[in-house]
Amino acid sequence: MDQPLLNVIDVTKQFGGLTAVNSIDLSIKPGLIASLIGPNGAGKTTFFNCVTGFYTPNEGKIIFDDRPIQGMSTDKIAKRGIARTYQNIRLFGDMTVLENILVGMHHRLTAGMWRPILGLDRAEEADAITEAIRLLEFVGLEGQGDYMAANLPYGMQRRLEIARALASKPKLLLLDEPTAGMNPIETDTMMAFIRQLRDELGLTIFLIEHDMKLVMTISDQVSVMDYGRKIAEGTPKEIQNDPTVIAAYLGTNIEDEEMEAEA
Amino acid sequence: MQETTDSGPSGSKSRPKRALSFLRVQNAYAFIGLVLIVIFAWVFFVIEIEPQFYLQEGERARYAWDTFISQFIIGLAQGSIYALIALGYTLVYGILFMINFAHGEVFMAGAYIGFFAINAAEQSGFLESQTALAILLTMGVAVMGSVIVAILLERIAYRPLRGAPRLVPLITAIGASITLQQLFLRLFGSSPRTYPRISLFVGQGMWGCEPVDGTTVCEGIDLISKSYDVLIFNQEVRIRPFFFVILFVSLLLMSALWFFIQRTKTGKAMRAVAEDKDTASLMGINVDRTIVITFMLGAALAGAGAVLFALYNRQVTPFMGFIPGIKAFTAAVLGGIGNVPGAMFGGLFLGVAESVFPSALGLPNQLKDVVAFGLLIVFMIFRPTGIFGEVLSEKKA
Amino acid sequence: MMNQNNLRFGFLETNTLRYSFYAAIAIFILTLTGIFGTFAQRDVIQDTLSLDLVALVLVIGVPALVAGRSSQSDKPVITILNSAIAGLIAATAVILVVLLETIVPQEELMFVFNNYRPIIGGVATLGAGQDNLIMGILGLLALSLILGGIVGGILSLPQRWMLAILSGLGSMVIIGLMAGQIRNLVTPSDALGVVGAFVAGYGAGYATRTIANPWLRRLLGFIAGGAVGIVFLVLGNTGAFAQNGALLLGGDPSIIMGGAVNSSLTMIIGFGIVGLAGLIVTSASSFVHNSAIFLAVVFALLGMLNVQQRMTVIMAIVTFIAFAAATIFIPPLGTQSNKQYRTLSPQQKRSIDVITGVLALVLALVAPVFMGQYITNVLDLVMLYIIMGIGLNVMVGYAGLLDLGYVASFAIGAYTSAILTTPSIFTTGCIPFEPIADARYAEMCTGILTNWQGVGILTFWQAWPIAIVVSAFTGMALGVPVLRLRGDYLAIVTLGFGEMTRVLTRAQITAPVLGAAQGISPVPFPVIDLTSLNPDWYFELSNASTIYYLYIFSVLAAALVVWRLSGSRLGRAWRAMKADEDVAQAMGVPLVRTKLLAFGVSSAFAGLGGAIFAAQLRGIFPDSFTLLVSINVLSLIIIGGLGSIPGVVVGALMLVGLPEVLREIQDYRLLVFGVLLVVVMLLKPDGLIPPPIRQLSKQQKVPQSASPQPNTQ
């Protein structure tokens, strides 16, 4: 239980001359909600992409569930148990809501090419659909199953994206700015929902977020990135009082910050 | 130019563990250099080394430098016409992300309209008296014809579908292509039209001297129809000066286009629209007008290319646009579609390759199309978005 | 197109001017292609209506129709005036050509416009020659005004009447054009019998509407049809259908009743089934109901055409009335049957659907008996394209991989099967100079298959699966180098595969195997040899009507396989990949495997079709494998609606069937094809029949009104 679920060791990702992620170390223990924060362009999403296998890190190791996963293709990593959502929602727009979720179940289903042709996948399909409907209910989209995903309202699309990720029964769920574009009420609902994910499904959650209230309220562990480097890590309280973090966010030097704080 | 994007508009990404990925060359110039070295080495091998193994005394090698040089020059001429057409594909693709399948027919239309112009000039004797001017006027008329066809095409077949799924304009483009082909077939008949045989002499009194009745007459060099034996790199090669005319005119037109895109206000508008139509229109750019201008530019180059092509090949048929169209499109893709220098380079490269390769590889000339497409496939494996990558024009730093 | 700003000046609307101006340009060009000259020789209605006159009417009528439709006014007068003006402007284009002809010397005009034939003196000037040209022009102007006005008047009628008149006129022209090909399809006596049985069943359906038990009703329908059968049988025994019999009604000898006396029971059952069909449609969905009745109307008209042999005036009038009446009266009946259909329980609905399906299949199976060689040939071609369309849909419609070189797979299938079923270096090892008995190959040659079965060449049934498998694997192999390519890059590379196929099949270096320009022939036709079961069961699928069954079987199999796949895990993976490749992969879809399967499945169908094609033509020739095949298949699936199987059928009928059937406009066929592609895409960018949304959650009913449309981004 004390073994970290995700252990990132000294990962670096460069694009040409630009170092987007610079020797990051990071580990997340099972059952935690971990957040990754940092100013725009700090390399957070690139880091996510390294973890999910979309990018191959130039250096370093990523250990997930005791096995190295760096350099594996994204579908293999998904199979290992990492699922994600995207900053700008990326649903399969011209498929129905249920079909989106069924795609999320892809690696858990077994039918290949011949079984459907011979009509032997019916039982599996029926089970999968039942489970997908249950998932829809869980994320609060009951009755929306046969709508085109692209026609859902924005908030529902976010939930659907999470449901799709959940459909793969992940051990680790990566959420890239789950509340982007939401109003405070919606954000609160999402916050409760993320908690529910951890508490009811026992997921480990790793999220990128700009909403500090949300981050500080639900996170067990917060890491801060700036210019590709990890500049701080700790509990929300520690981070809130970390001078380098404040400097990174406000772009002023530390003394000014402290003077303002005293004033 | 050094900064080339490695993949489509969805952003650059590295894909893990691909077969042969270590062979992928990131820099376009390094890639071209590599390709050229390989080709030259092969040609050198075929001409200089291989014959030593099979050649008997006094036999001529099946392939020698003179063949190579003349094929290379023919290829350059052919390639510059491909390049002119390819630019039309690339400009439209760069701005609308659609394959203008009917562009080959725009080319064909130019050739036909040029035929009627030059035919009228011949009938009236104007061609005889003012050859250069007549050819220029023909080219002008052909350009106008192509431009009109392209404007109609854009207005009728493409503009109403601006927001439609990407395959839809492809189908209207195919439909428009067939329609134009058939329309020209029905209008002007299925028998080929033949351009007159034109001679345009330059350098009278200086070149092309022959003794006639004891005195030396220098009738000059015929730029269009005649072939001459010339020494190039110590090899006697028979060439038509017209090949160089084609190359020269094409390069001139391409430079003009390059200047237009880079320097003029409209050119900048084109680049802006290519980047982002919505933002461009917010900045006060008339997007529809810019797109029409793009079509017109592409058509103008195709029309000019059509006259060059027709002066060289002389025969004009309703189906003449098809093969050059496909080849030019291949060239555009080779260079990186949407990329203007890419299209120029792709065209020249494809022309030279399909002219030189079949005999250099010892294949029958029948297979030159197979060589062209085989090359395309090989290139796509190593550089999936073309040699120069996929941009209309690189942003000023 | 209709939503552009339509301003009005007085009674004249800008749309009228806009459309008629476009039309005028098109008409000017069309006239210069010599359309009136080409069509002058052809009669639509014998000695009454020639095709060039139809062309003139269309040239004036279509712009008037478009202008009238786009008119937003409620006042009929304004619609009529706008239509008339549009007609007038359209006619001006023709008059411009007339003037051009008087000004420009004829030989010069015909030097430029090679196909142009002088139109003065033809329909364009209403027969007026050079001397009274002014009268001709004025006459044409007057005609155009009147015709445009009439069109406007028709448009102002209630929708049903308008549609009735238009469909009546349209079918009159189409049947007139096709008369030569379809006049011997159905004999009048057969038409009478079959339509009679259908009507009897239909009537029974209405009479028994109160009976609750569906099977009892169906039995009654069967009996009603069977009764008609018995009547005809009795009549047949009196010799009414024999040579010169009274009930032949002056048409050809009956096909059905010909052998009636011998197999009377079969005949009664056949009529009974028709009666059952008549009954079933009274409570089927309106689509089924309406198509069935239209089919019956066409059947009856074909019977009449067999008597008349030509599109006579009387035939034309009957056709017009029949179609107009059908258009008016059938839809309300269809609404009624639809209403009944909707009240049924799901099981009953299902049973109706199954019966309709079986009846449609029976209809398809007996169709070649009636259709004659020509139409059967066209249908064979259509079905070949349906098979390929269904296959290509896997690649383009589901997996989103744009393939412009589908002809390559088609060619591979055709050539594989041809090579394996003929003596070649692959099979017998050598090709003797003169024909020898099969058995002697083994002595003369040593090829791969020489000693197998003692012959060395395969039958169609052995070669077919091999051809399919070879196509599938070649498709996958071609897929490997292009796995990383996206969108248009893939398109051009696949186009390259297609072009390479074209060149390689013609090239000299492949000639020993592929036969270069001569191709490979003769390829044997498939033989079904079940003589071991029954000495009579020996069938040669050697002509269009027999190979038809092979096609129909393949179409059904292809449709079933792809329908199953599209709703399966693999199908979802394809569609996810089409929507967003990266996300699909991140959700656990292995891209390489999924893409290669798409390539493989798609190519397999092309190979399947190719092998039948080779057997049908009894040989293959490189000319059959051009880019046009790829374009045709791609166009028909997009016109039909990407990813939709019914769409493929409609697309194939429209793009392959229609141009084949309208032989009369031979020279303009491809032009029509091209224009059709543009027009359909402009009017219906999603295709004619977009794919249905799969309602997976059966528990909840999605409200019909709020039912979301497929996304069109």
For domain A1-81+170-263, give its CATH number from 3.40.630.40, 3.30.360.10, 3.40.50.300, 3.40.50.2300.
3.40.50.300
Query: Are the C-beta atoms of residues A172 and A206 closer than 8 Å to each other?
Result: yes
User: Mean pLDDT over all residues of chain C?
Assistant: 84
Lowest mean pLDDT among B86-95, B367-376, C566-575: B367-376
Distance of alpha carbon A23 from alpha carbon A13, whole angstroms: 8
pLDDT value at residue C173 = 87
Inform me whether the pLDDT recorded for A246 exceeds 90: no
More confident call, C469 vs C69: C469
For residue C444, give Cα distances in angstroms to C400, C433, C622: 50, 12, 29
How many other CB atoms are found less than 10 A from the CB of residue B282? Answer: 9
More confident call, C511 vs C78: C78
pLDDT value at residue C448 = 58
Residue C82 tokens read as 């706008």
Residue B385 tokens read as 């978005």
Mean pLDDT of B317-343: 86
pLDDT value at residue B353 = 87
For chain A, the DSSP string reads --S-SEEEEEEEEEETTEEEEEEEEEEE-TT-EEEEE-STTSSHHHHHHHHTTSS--SEEEEEETTEE-TT--HHHHHHHTEEE--SS----TTSBHHHHHHHHTGGG----SHHHHHT--HHHHHHHHHHHHHHHHHTT-TT-TTSBGGGS-HHHHHHHHHHHHHHT--SEEEEESTTTT--HHHHHHHHHHHHHHHHHH--EEEEE---HHHHHHH-SEEEEEETTEEEEEE-HHHHHT-HHHHHHHH-S-HHHHHHHHH-
Contact list, B13 vs chain A (CB under 8 Å): 49, 54-55
Q: pLDDT digits over C400-454, tens only?
A: 898 988 999 999 999 999 988 887 766 666 655 555 555 555 555 555 555 555 5
Inform me whether the pLDDT recorded for B32 exceeds 80: no
Inform me whether the pLDDT recorded for B22 exceeds 60: no
pLDDT value at residue B55 = 65
Contact list, A113 vs chain C (CB under 8 Å): 565, 570, 597, 601
Mean pLDDT of B344-368: 84
Residues 6+ apart with CB under 8 A from B314: B194, B195, B197
pLDDT value at residue A223 = 92
Of residues C671, C712, C713, nearest to B183 (C-beta): C671
pLDDT value at residue C394 = 94
Interface subset of C 547-566, CB within 8 angstroms of A:
561, 564-565
Query: Are the C-beta atoms of residues C188 and C250 closer than 8 Å to each other?
Result: yes
Angle at C312 between CA C308 and CA C313, to 5 degrees: 135
Inform me whether the pLDDT recorded for C390 exceeds 90: yes
Inform me whether the pLDDT recorded for A263 exceeds 70: no
Residue C72, helix vs strand vs coil: coil
Q: Closest-CA residue in chain A for B12?
A: A15
How many other CB atoms are found less than 10 A from the CB of residue B109? Answer: 29
pLDDT value at residue C437 = 56
Q: pLDDT digits over B263-279, tens only?
A: 899 888 988 888 888 88
What length does chain A have? Answer: 263
Q: pLDDT digits over A48-82, tens only?
A: 999 999 898 988 999 998 899 988 899 999 999 99
Lowest mean pLDDT among A180-194, C188-202, C418-432: C418-432
Q: Closest-CA residue in chain B for A14?
A: B14
Residues 6+ apart with CB under 8 A from C459: C421, C524, C526, C527
Residue B283: band (very low, low, confident or very high) from pLDDT cuts 50, 70, 90: confident
pLDDT value at residue B5 = 36
Contact list, B364 vs chain C (CB under 8 Å): 507-509
Residue B392: band (very low, low, confident or very high) from pLDDT cuts 50, 70, 90: very low
Amino acid (1-letter code) at residue C461: W
More confident call, A113 vs A1: A113
- String of b and e for B338-365 (b: at least 16 CB within 10 Å)? bbbbbbbbbbbbbbbbbbbbbbbeeeee
Inform me whether the pLDDT recorded for C699 exceeds 80: no
Residues 6+ apart with CB under 8 A from A236: A215, A216, A217, A219, A222
Contact list, B169 vs chain C (CB under 8 Å): 681
Residue C201 tokens read as 């069943």
Amino acid (1-letter code) at residue C217: R
CA max distance for chain B: 78
Lowest mean pLDDT among C22-26, C233-237, C653-657: C233-237
Of B56-70, C137-151, C430-444, give the range with the top mean pLDDT. Answer: C137-151
Distance of alpha carbon C225 from alpha carbon C219, whole angstroms: 10
ipTM given for this complex: 0.91
Residue B266 phi/psi, 5° resolution?
-60, -40
Distance of alpha carbon C134 from alpha carbon C218, whole angstroms: 68
- B neighbour chains, 3+ CB pairs within 8 Å: A, C
Q: Which of C453, C284, C401, C306 is nearest to C352 (CA)?
A: C284
Contact B14 A72 (CB under 8 A): no
More confident call, C634 vs B202: C634
pLDDT value at residue C453 = 56
Scan for tokens 């609750």, then name that residue: C212
Residues 6+ apart with CB under 8 A from B26: B4, B6
Q: Which of A224, A71, A94 is nearest to A151 (CA)?
A: A94
For chain A, give every domain's residue range: 1-81+170-263, 92-168
- Residues of A in CB contact (< 8 Å) with B are 15, 49, 53-56, 71-73
Which of B167, B181, B368, B371 is the best substitution to test chain C (most C C-beta atoms within 10 A)? B167
For chain B, give every domain's residue range: 26-62, 70-197+232-382
Of residues B12, B13, B17, nearest to A71 (C-beta): B17
CB contacts < 8 A, B to C, total: 164
Inform me whether the pLDDT recorded for B115 exceeds 70: yes
Q: Closest-CA residue in chain B for A56?
A: B16
Mean pLDDT of B153-170: 86
In Å, how far from its chain's centre is CA C590?
38
Q: pLDDT digits over A160-175, tens only?
A: 999 999 999 999 999 9
Q: Closest-CA residue in chain B for C634?
A: B171
Query: Are the C-beta atoms of residues B260 and B297 closer than 8 Å to each other?
Result: yes
User: Mean pLDDT over all residues of chain B?
Assistant: 81
Residue A83: band (very low, low, confident or very high) from pLDDT cuts 50, 70, 90: very high
Q: Closest-CA residue in chain A for B18?
A: A73
DSSP conformation class of C691: P
Residue A34 tokens read as 């971990």
For residue B29, give Cα distances in angstroms to B1, B33, B349, B380, C345: 9, 6, 14, 16, 71
Distance of alpha carbon C414 from alpha carbon C678, whole angstroms: 31
Q: How many helices (H) and strands (E) does chain C have?
A: 26, 6
Mean pLDDT of C592-611: 95
Of residues B12, B13, B16, nearest to A73 (C-beta): B16
Inform me whether the pLDDT recorded for C382 exceeds 60: yes
How many other CB atoms are found less than 10 A from the CB of residue A41? Answer: 13
pLDDT value at residue C115 = 85
Residue C352: band (very low, low, confident or very high) from pLDDT cuts 50, 70, 90: confident
- A neighbour chains, 3+ CB pairs within 8 Å: B, C
pLDDT value at residue C709 = 38
pLDDT value at residue A62 = 92
Inform me whether the pLDDT recorded for B54 exceeds 90: no
Q: Which of A183, A167, A43 is nearest to A107 (CA)?
A: A167
Q: Does residue C573 sit at the A interface (CB-CB below 8 Å)?
A: yes
Contact list, A133 vs chain C (CB under 8 Å): 697, 699
Contact list, A148 vs chain C (CB under 8 Å): 693, 708-711
Contact A103 C572 (CB under 8 A): yes
Question: Looking at the domain that runs over B70-197+232-382, which CATH code has it been given?
Answer: 1.10.3470
**Percentage of chain B modeled with pLDDT above 70:** 87
Amino acid (1-letter code) at residue B215: T
Which of C4, C395, C484 is the best substitution to test chain B (most B C-beta atoms within 10 A)? C484
pLDDT value at residue C3 = 45
pLDDT value at residue C19 = 85
Contact list, B18 vs chain C (CB under 8 Å): 484
pLDDT value at residue C698 = 64
Distance of alpha carbon C272 from alpha carbon C198, whole angstroms: 9
Q: Closest-CA residue in chain C for B183?
A: C671
Mean pLDDT of C246-261: 65
Q: pLDDT digits over A222-245, tens only?
A: 999 988 888 889 999 888 888 888
Contact list, A146 vs chain C (CB under 8 Å): 693-697, 700, 702
Q: Does residue B13 sit at the A interface (CB-CB below 8 Å)?
A: yes
CB contacts < 8 A, A to B, total: 14
Residue A174 phi/psi, 5° resolution?
-100, 125
Q: Does residue C575 sit at the A interface (CB-CB below 8 Å)?
A: yes
How many other CB atoms are found less than 10 A from the CB of residue C694? Answer: 15
Residue A27 phi/psi, 5° resolution?
-140, 145
Contact A54 B17 (CB under 8 A): no
Helix axes C264-281, C346-393, angle to 10 degrees: 100
pLDDT value at residue C442 = 53
In Å, how far from its chain's centre is CA C156?
32
Mean pLDDT of B344-354: 89
Q: Closest-CA residue in chain A for C559?
A: A117
pLDDT value at residue A162 = 92
Query: Are the C-beta atoms of residues B236 and B222 closer than 8 Å to each other?
Result: no
Distance of alpha carbon C327 from alpha carbon C94, whole angstroms: 33
Contact B99 C488 (CB under 8 A): yes
Contact list, C636 vs chain B (CB under 8 Å): none
Torsion sign (Cα): C152, C158, C163, C169: negative
Inform me whether the pLDDT recorded for B24 exceeds 60: no
For residue A51, give Cα distances in angstroms to A68, A181, C356, C515: 11, 25, 55, 56
pLDDT value at residue C181 = 79
Residues 6+ apart with CB under 8 A from B67: B359
Q: pLDDT digits over C656-688, tens only?
A: 888 887 766 777 888 888 888 888 888 888 888
What is the nearest CA distance from A192 to chain C, expressed in angstroms? 25
Amino acid (1-letter code) at residue C388: M
What is the nearest CA distance from C237 to chain B, expressed in angstroms? 57
Amino acid (1-letter code) at residue C278: G
For chain C, give every domain's residue range: 8-156, 182-344, 380-422+457-626
Q: pLDDT digits over C298-344, tens only?
A: 989 988 888 888 888 888 999 999 999 999 988 888 888 888 888 88
Contact list, B165 vs chain C (CB under 8 Å): 685-686, 712-713
Contact list, C565 vs chain A (CB under 8 Å): 113, 116-117
Contact A92 C569 (CB under 8 A): no
Residue A169 phi/psi, 5° resolution?
50, 60
Angle at C275 between CA C272 and CA C277, to 5 degrees: 115
Contact list, C573 vs chain A (CB under 8 Å): 103, 106
